[in-house]
Amino acid sequence: MKKLFVLLLTSVLVLSSFTACGKEDGGNKLYVYNWGEYIDPAVLEMFEEETGIQVIYDEFETNESMYSKISAGASLYDLVCPSDYMISKMITEDLLQPINWDHVPNRIYIGEDYWEMSKGFDEEGQYALPYCWGTVGILYNTTLVSEPIDEWADLWDPQYTDEVLMQDSVRDAFMVALIKNGHSCNSQTTEELELAKQELINQKPIVQAYVVDQVRDKMIGGEAAIGVIYSGEAIYTQRENPDLEYVIPKEGSNLWIDSWVIPKNARNVENAEKFLDFLCRPDIALLNFDYITYSTPNVSAREMIEDEEIRNSEIAFPTLSNYNLEVYKYLGEETETIYNNFWKQVKAY
Amino acid sequence: MIYKSLKRIYIGLILLFLYAPIITLIVLSFNASKTRSKWGGFTFDWYIELFQNEEIMSALGNTLIVALLSALIATIFGLIGCVAMQQLGRKGRSLITGITNIPMLNAEIVTGISLMLLFLSIGNILGKIGVRFQLGFMTVLISHITFNIPYAILSILPRMKQLNPSVYEAALDLGATKFTAFRKVVLPDLLPGISSGFLMAFTMSIDDFIITHFTKGPGFDTLSTKIYTELRKGIKPEMYALSTIIFVVVFILLLLVNHTPKEPNKKR
Amino acid sequence: MNKKKLSNHLLSTPFYLWIGAFIVIPLFMIFYYGFTDKTGAFTLENITAMAEPWHFKALMISVVLSVISTIICFLLAYPLAYILSQMKVNSHQYVVFMFILPMWMNFLLRTLAWQTLIEKTGVINGFLTALGLPALRIINTNYAIVLGMVYNYLPFMILPLYNTLAKIDPSVVNAARDLGANSFITFKRIIFPLSIPGIISGITMVFVPSLTTFVISNILGGSKILLIGNVIEQEFTVACNWHLGSGLSIVLMMFIVVNMVLSMIFDKDGEANAL
């Protein structure tokens, strides 16, 4: 026992000193909180090299889980990347600070359309810098379905029992049911929501699992035939498994835009602005796009994409007028509680 | 004879059940394909990449440091606690045992959340007087020490009860100071309990996810929380490689210890 | 005399402070949040919320699944612990280590490995189809969750059982035999009663974490089955309703209190817990 003890202790000590030596505690830091796999690690490295700022990078899974960390107040990040409706909520709750645009000259590379889109949740354009955008759609495996999928209603088709992957996030799940019923994905009426809840409950036996980012892995592996997914994953998954096809359902869908914001309690605002400016540089945005494959609002970066097929891809850069797309809005605390409660009831059913 | 081989088969089956996922992980660490579900051929690349992956390495460092420190401090606290309890009456003793057992018996999620709530309110109070407080290494360490204390106490206490107080008194009578008497007489008898408490605490700390999940802060990850983040987009194969290495190292340590001639250790 | 007391206090005060600050106060925090609403006013709503059908259903599923898992763990572990305690193993540590060793592989990774094993296109189904057998369909069902619970917490049942069984003095057993008891009676009258503290602590160590897990149901249940642990976790990390989350936790704690009382009755010395 004694010997094991000594052996263990020494090996642990050696290992920890070995792993700890790489970490140098410079004062120049930047705390970034982003979606999972939502940046090219090389971009972070280049930024660190160019500026000498050490980036501390964390990932979150859903807007809601990010919000609970930030609003609790004991997690101090300098940059966060929430979606539209969440930014609106955070602005309402006074959790963000305006960005000093003079320090982000490269913002000019972001297309005018996207600034317009931003106004939906950031009316005066003070808080949010567009980072990625896209649609929510259906990814399906052509070898596992009998005919091409093109509407949300297909997710209720009993022949696909145990083959459907739904999103495990409140708004996305309800969006699917609401739009299928012909309602707005920003519905606030209890009857419509009640109906959507019932639909989701009806759908439950067909659903294989409620997942968020795991859709990607499971679809590539052929574990499921149909999955609700963000458009940005389509290119990546198709690269890995050519049988996969992405479609925006004909009933319409959600158009989302993820933007960088600076929380009120950020401590390294200047570094945050430097980072934003860096990300807007077309070469960096392009590098990043190649890695994460989520549509970039950076017009110059898009023009630089070499693969013509991707540059003009209807998946990565859809012609918005061809689809019936709607951006999520923040619906206020009360409606949010209804959504949360209904979602809980669906999951518990 | 049949009975005996049945026994063997039974043990074998349970071990197979316990080790099946571990074998899977080891196999996956040699899988050239990045996705879990496809076998893309044999490769050693993940082992090489593992050591270049700073994030995983620093998470490993954090895990080990937290486990080491928390096990050490918890064992010391456990020892102190056991000594302190000897001086209490029966009621006081069961009260203190009851309290220290709470983090072990209570749901991990409740322990994690209750500590998080405490840290957040400390943060709020400090924030009002202008001190920036942030969840991170310290809060995780404190939490780990707290939930490790009962494991230490449970290992030390039974030994403490077996002690013969007259030996300690005899040492005092022979002129030893209290400290020397404790160190020379009591401690050696407690040592097996202390070391198994330490080991248990260390293991629990390494394996903990839930409590760390709730008490960690920006930029601080242990292996568990790192894996949880990776779960969603697919575990990076480097992680399998790391687990394989950990497993093999521990396994070899175990074999080494069991094959060296036994020290004259009293039976537990 | 006073000096002695003082030095004792010096030693024990940090300990008492620590458990006060990090065990007792956090519990009070949970109670504070559980019994108040967002405005800070006293309310019982967060407690009674457990009676709402969806919460109650989650609780019931959790109770049923964890009871089943505990029973399975017990049935698997008791014979094993008994066999092990009878074996002449060269060292006690060896046995303990064989069953603690899996815990050194991360718990999330091990659970994920089960997903790889049992999923539709998983390893086990690969074997089964190659052998021409029907595929196993348990992923994302209650069965998978029970499997995950049994797998993860089985060592916690084996170790206390082994500890108590190994401690039984062989001469007691021999005495019973000499007095004419057959092996069944010896087991029923001597061995089993003496192992009760181990059983109780084993049950506690399996039942409590199974009852409150949220990770296993996420990974192996595909989030389709909501356990009470998931509800509480979601309240804190998604819905941001700490009050409701705390209230539900308090209800959950009741189960644990019952468990503690039981263990106090049966295992007065807490000996079986020593791993």
- C75: closest CA of chain A, how far (Å): 30
Instruction: Let me know if residue C275 belongs to a domain.
Output: no
Same domain, A250 and A116: no
Q: Residue A124 to residues A108, B29, C240: CA-CA distances in angstroms?
A: 17, 50, 28
Chain B residues 40-99 within an 8 A CB cutoff of chain C: 77, 80-81, 83-84, 87, 94, 96-99
Q: Which chains touch A (3 or more CB pairs under 8 A)?
A: B, C
Q: What confidence score (pLDDT) does residue C99 get? A: 81
Cα separation, C91 vs C85, in Å, equals 11
Instruction: Let me know if residue A18 belongs to a domain.
Output: no
Same domain, C257 and C159: yes
Q: Name the closest residue on chain A to residue C92, using Cα atoms.
A: A1
Domain limits for position A301: 27-133+256-316
The reply to whether A13 touches chain B by the CB within 8 Å rule is: yes
Tell me which H or E stretch contains A326: strand A325-326
Cα separation, B33 vs B166, in Å, equals 66
Q: Do the bridges between strand A29-35 and strand A54-60 make them parallel or antiparallel, or are there none, so unpaired?
A: parallel
What are the chain A neighbours of B133 within 8 Å (beta carbons)?
74
Q: Hey, what amino acid is at A94? A: D
Instruction: Let me know if residue A311 belongs to a domain.
Output: yes
The reply to whether B146 touches chain C by the CB within 8 Å rule is: yes
> How confident is the model over A22-49, as pLDDT tens digits?
444 456 899 999 998 899 999 999 999 9
When divided into structural domains, chain C yields a total of 2
- A24: closest CA of chain B, how far (Å): 11
The token pair at A209 is: 């699992």
- DSSP-derived letter for residue C24 is I
The reply to whether B167 touches chain C by the CB within 8 Å rule is: no
CB contact under 8 A, B84 and C80: no
Residue A297, classed as helix, strand or coil, is: coil
Q: Hey, what amino acid is at C138? A: I
When divided into structural domains, chain B yields a total of 1
Q: Name the closest residue on chain B to residue C121, using Cα atoms.
A: B37
Taking chain C (275 residues) in runs of 10, the rounded mean pLDDT of each run is 62 90 94 93 94 94 96 96 79 72 85 90 87 89 96 92 86 88 87 88 89 92 92 89 93 81 64 45
Q: Hey, what amino acid is at A122? A: D
Q: Name the closest residue on chain C to residue A348, using Cα atoms.
A: C226
Residue B167 neighbours by CB distance under 10 Å: 13
What are the chain A neighbours of C126 within 8 Å (beta carbons)?
none
**HSE value, Cβ hemisphere, 13 Å, CA-based, for A174:** 28
Taking chain A (349 residues) in runs of 10, the rounded mean pLDDT of each run is 58 55 60 93 94 92 90 88 96 95 95 92 94 95 93 95 93 96 95 96 95 88 93 89 94 95 93 96 95 94 90 89 92 93 93
The token pair at C59 is: 């609780």
Predicted confidence (pLDDT) at residue B53 exceeds the cutoff of 90? no
Cα separation, B217 vs B116, in Å, equals 10
CATH number at residue C145: 1.10.3720.10
Q: Where do the H-state alpha helices sit in B29-53?
A: 45-52
The reply to whether C226 touches chain A by the CB within 8 Å rule is: yes
User: Which residue's entry shows tokens 């992980």?
Assistant: B25
Same domain, C1 and C116: no
What are the chain B neighbours of A263 within 8 Å (beta carbons)?
none
Cα separation, B238 vs B244, in Å, equals 10
Same domain, A263 and A222: no
Q: Residue A29 to residues A24, A77, A270, A277: CA-CA distances in angstroms?
A: 11, 10, 10, 16
CB contact under 8 A, B37 and A56: no
Q: Which residues contact B23 (CB under 8 A, 6 or more apart)?
A: none
Q: Residue B235 to residues A65, A241, B224: CA-CA distances in angstroms?
A: 20, 18, 12
Q: Which of C106, C109, A10, A18 is nearest to B256 (CA)?
A: A10
Instruction: Let me know if residue C30 belongs to a domain.
Output: yes
Q: Name the closest residue on chain B to residue C7, using Cα atoms.
A: B178
Compute the count of residue pairs across chains A and C with CB atoms less than 8 Å apart.
59
When divided into structural domains, chain A yields a total of 2
Q: Which of B249, B243, B215 is nearest to B60 (CA)?
A: B243
Q: Name the closest residue on chain A to residue B206, using Cα atoms.
A: A12
Instruction: Let me know if residue A82 belongs to a domain.
Output: yes
Instruction: Let me know if residue A13 belongs to a domain.
Output: no
Instruction: Let me know if residue C61 belongs to a domain.
Output: yes
Instruction: Let me know if residue A14 belongs to a domain.
Output: no
What sign results for the dihedral spanned by CA atoms C190, C192, C195, C200? negative
Q: Which of C177, C192, C170 is nearest to C79 (CA)?
A: C192
Instruction: Let me know if residue B166 belongs to a domain.
Output: yes
Instruction: Let me know if residue C274 belongs to a domain.
Output: no
Same domain, A47 and A96: yes
Confidence of residue B249 (pLDDT cuts 50, 70, 90): confident
Domain limits for position B145: 57-235
Instruction: Let me know if residue A9 belongs to a domain.
Output: no
Same domain, C203 and C104: yes
CATH number at residue A65: 3.40.190.10
CB contact under 8 A, C121 and A67: no
Same domain, C185 and C262: yes
User: In this structure, are residues A78 and A262 in contact, taking their beta carbons and an 8 Å threshold?
Assistant: yes
Instruction: Let me know if residue C105 belongs to a domain.
Output: yes
User: Which residue's entry shows tokens 């501390």?
Assistant: A56
Q: Residue C231 to residues A166, B211, C217: CA-CA distances in angstroms?
A: 19, 17, 11
The token pair at B148 is: 């490790």
The reply to whether C236 touches chain A by the CB within 8 Å rule is: yes
> Which residue(s) pair with A137 in the sheet?
A229
Question: Of C137, C226, C239, which is closest to A340 when you measure between CB atoms?
Answer: C239
Chain C residues 8-37 within an 8 A CB cutoff of chain A: none
Q: What confidence score (pLDDT) does residue A168 get? A: 92
Chain B residues 69-108 within an 8 A CB cutoff of chain A: none
Of A8-22, A263-277, B5-19, B199-213, the range with the lowest mean pLDDT is: A8-22
What sign results for the dihedral spanned by CA atoms A187, A191, A192, A195? positive
Instruction: Let me know if residue C41 belongs to a domain.
Output: no
Cα separation, B240 vs B223, in Å, equals 11
Domain limits for position C110: 47-266
**Phi and psi (nearest 5°) for C229?**
-60, -40
Q: What confidence score (pLDDT) does residue A12 get? A: 60
Q: Which chains touch C (3 or more CB pairs under 8 A)?
A: A, B
B150 or A16, greater pLDDT = B150
The token pair at B16 is: 């197979």
**CA B71 to mean position of chain CA atoms:** 6
Same domain, A205 and A169: yes
CATH number at residue B188: 1.10.3720.10
Q: Which residues contact C80 (CB under 8 A, 6 or more apart)?
A: B10, B11, B14, C158
Same domain, A139 and A226: yes
Average pLDDT over residues B244-253: 86
Instruction: Let me know if residue B199 belongs to a domain.
Output: yes
CB contact under 8 A, A211 and C240: no
Length reported for chain B: 268
Instruction: Let me know if residue C245 belongs to a domain.
Output: yes
Q: For chain A, first and last CA: distance in Å?
A: 51
Instruction: Let me know if residue B245 belongs to a domain.
Output: no
Confidence of residue B39 (pLDDT cuts 50, 70, 90): confident
Q: What confidence score (pLDDT) does residue C269 get? A: 52
